[in-house]
Structure formats: structure tokens, C-alpha cells
Amino acid sequence: MEVISFVALAAGLIIGLGAFGACIGIGIMGSKYLESAARQPELMNELQTKMFLLAGLIDAAFIIGTGIALWFATANPFLGQIAAALAAGAK
């Protein structure tokens, strides 16, 4: 029973810290985009393309982390091994 709570805690940390990191990363990237667009307005279209590409990559990393966390929460492949180890230790 204790192992399930640790899996839930780990999944929550993966999702929460991933979201926090993605938000910070996109916020910093957006501020740098606005700063560089103000300095050189003629490069605004090229910078915007690169900014949206990087925003997609940052979001993709967060969504992959969320998918892995939800996979562990619903179908933990280590749960059977842990239960067998606990049963062997109790004998």
C-alpha cells in the first residue's frame, strides 16, 4: 500500500515540476523575444518563427513527462517486482 502512495507522489512531482519548468522557460523565452524584437524590429518575423518552434519543443517535453507520469500511475511496471521483494523479505 505504501508503494502506491509513493508512485502517486512521484507522478505529482513529475507533472508539477514539469509544468513549473515549462512555464518559467516559456516566460523567459517570451521576454527575450520581446526584448530582441524591440532592439531589431526587422528580424521580428524570423525571431517569431524560432520562438514558436522552441515553445512547441518546451511544451512537448512537458507533455512527454506528463504521459510518463500518468503511465507510471496507471500501469506501474515496478509494482510487481516491489511486491515480490516485500513478500520474499517477509518470509
For the chain, the helix, strand and coil percentages under 3-state DSSP, each to the nearest 5: 90, 0, 10
Q: Catalytic residue among 24, 59, 81, 84, which? A: 59
The per-residue pLDDT for 6 is 81
Amino acid symbol at 89: G
What is d(CA 87, CA 82) in angstroms, rounded to the nearest whole number? Answer: 9
For the chain (length 91 residues), average pLDDT per consecutive 10? Answer: 73 92 95 95 94 94 91 74 78 67
59 annotated active-site: yes
What is d(CA 1, CA 18) in angstroms, rounded to the nearest whole number? Answer: 26
Maximum alpha-carbon separation in the chain: 73
- Fill in the DSSP letter of residue 1: -
Q: What is the pTM of this model?
A: 0.71
